[in-house]
Amino acid sequence: LTPLIVFAEMHEFQGEGTAPINPDNISSTRMAATKNAKRSAINAAIRKFIGPTAANDPKVKEAIENILTQIDDSKIISRKADKDGDNYVLKITLKVDDLEFRRLLQTEGIAPSTDRTSKILVLMDEYHTTPTDMQKPLKEVVEYSHDKTATSEASLSAASSASSETKAAARESSASSASYAANAQYGAHASGHGYSAGGHASGQVAASGAQRSQSSADYSDKSSESASLEAKSFDQQKDVVNFKKLVEYQPRNVGPAKSNATYNALLNMAQQYDLNVMNSAVFRSKYFPNKSVTLADLADGSELGKHVQQAGKEGAEYFMMGNAIMRDLGNNQCDGDVTISAYSVDDSTNLTAATHNESARGTSPDDCRVTLAKKLAHFVGKTIGSSIKDYNRQREVSGKEYRVLLLSSADGLGGRMITSFSNNLLKIKGLNSKLNEREKSSSKYDVVLTYKGDVPFSNLITEVLDSMPTMNQADFDVAGTTITICLEGKNRCK
């Protein structure tokens, strides 16, 4: 039977509750303190899943009381009781299932809607292969060469020409003898130890060559009486052994699989993590025709930036690229790695970049891959879902960062105009930061700010421009969280 795979992510939350001590009914005192401690722990969970100020909402407060009755005491994994005057104090740790708690939030109508409505475009490929067997190479190539030559440098007088000829003949004899020695030594050892035999032969050859060369030099010095006494001869022996062994093993990647079990499993799990996964077929055909997602693609920052922008053109708010590599280990066992990288399309913020390994077994190789795919998809869904939620929570608390570029193709940005423009930006309702001015000149004013509000930021920029008569011709473009305004009109600034 195929084992049932149940994916559960658990969270732990601490809570503290107090209750007046009733000496006549200690049991009721403990129950009251336990209920208050659970309420405190649920409040902590609400802050994590929805936002730090969510518990102040009257609707959420009412929902907390309903959720409280649906989480029984078996979820409490630790208790620590204490006494504070006439009060009984209880500290607990509550352990809850991620999906179970999210369903409770959805049932009560307080689940964050931004998570479910945010569109994410996922581009993912799957590879099936087998592990490299280091004991079974496909091909071995051995290259061996032995370069052995003798050279001589001499500084002789004109009268020593006969001696030079004699020395040259001696060197020729030395080289021949050295070559013979090398062959003899290599032949004696080559059968079992190719590389060490070559090295041993080199040592013998060098010694033999040096000895013969010295004898020849002594002979020539004695036979040539006309040679100058100042003559110097330098015999140099060159002995180079090259040995190269190339071993080729089976290729790790055999190309993307036609059936992508990991991607399909992710689609099935997307709703569990409130992910709105877009159909990637159109995007792939437009930007990735006949191309698979490789680890190199995931590591190429410039290319990833282009894909993030392309995903934005298709209406995605988030973009993820990844691949899964599955290895058949034999005996219906397999393992695999999944590598992902996810971004916010608005500002190209990297939400997460992770690699994860899992293993599985099944009734057949295909069954094993399906089980493995579910495990890998669970990791992807959990990681991406949590990253998007954390990113949304942060933006809800602090607001979204925008970059405003005011440009002029005719150097028309005077000091008074820039000051008036920045003052109008400061009047925006929902501004949640100071103006971070990056550049200020007659052709460019670059400023970054954080806005937290319900009105689209582009609408507020329109109001700012309408309030300034000197900008009656100005128009702007929006690219994610960047607003580019041209003083002379649209498409006039480059």
Maximal C-alpha separation, the chain = 132
What pLDDT score was predicted for residue 306?
84
CB atoms within 10 A of CB 210: 16
CB atoms within 10 A of CB 404: 22
Q: How far is CA 288 from CA 47, 125, 141, 379, in A?
A: 40, 12, 38, 25
Q: Determine contact, residues 338/266, Cβ cutoff 8 Å.
A: no
CA-only gyration radius of the chain, Å: 39
DSSP 191: T
Residue 49 has pLDDT above 80, yes or no: yes
Closest by Cα among 79, 1, 92, 6 to 43: 92
Written as one string, the DSSP assignment of 69-123 is HHS-GGGEEEEEEEEETTEEEEEEEEEEEHHHHHHHHHHTT-S-HHHHH-EEEEE
Of residues 355 and 244, more confidence is placed in 355
What pLDDT score was predicted for residue 172?
43
Q: How far is CA 317 from CA 116, 119, 305, 320, 392, in A?
A: 12, 5, 14, 10, 11
Confidence of residue 354 (pLDDT cuts 50, 70, 90): very high
What pLDDT score was predicted for residue 148?
62
In the chain, what percentage of residues exceed pLDDT 70?
A: 72
For 121-148, the pLDDT digits (tens) are 999 989 988 876 555 565 566 666 666 6
Confidence of residue 175 (pLDDT cuts 50, 70, 90): very low
What lies within 8 Å, CB to CB, of 474 at 6+ separation is: 465, 485, 486, 487, 488, 489
What pLDDT score was predicted for residue 292?
77
For 146-158, the pLDDT digits (tens) are 666 554 444 434 3
Confidence of residue 247 (pLDDT cuts 50, 70, 90): low
Written as one string, the DSSP assignment of 140-172 is EEEEEEEEEEEEEEEE--GGGHHHHHHHHHHHH
What pLDDT score was predicted for residue 490?
82
What pLDDT score was predicted for residue 420?
95
Count of residues for the chain? Answer: 494
Confidence of residue 312 (pLDDT cuts 50, 70, 90): confident
In the chain, what percentage of residues exceed pLDDT 90?
A: 44
Closest by Cα among 110, 78, 84, 67 to 21: 84
What pLDDT score was predicted for residue 359?
95
What pLDDT score was predicted for residue 117?
64
For 190-216, the pLDDT digits (tens) are 333 333 333 333 333 333 343 434 444
Confidence of residue 169 (pLDDT cuts 50, 70, 90): very low
- Does the pTM surpass 0.85? The reply is no
What pLDDT score was predicted for residue 296?
74
Query: What is the average pLDDT across 375-387?
Result: 92
Name the token pair of 180: 């013979």
Q: How confident is the prediction for the chain on average, in pLDDT?
A: 78
3-state secondary structure of 136: coil
Q: Determine contact, residues 309/110, Cβ cutoff 8 Å.
A: no
Residue 106 has pLDDT above 60, yes or no: yes
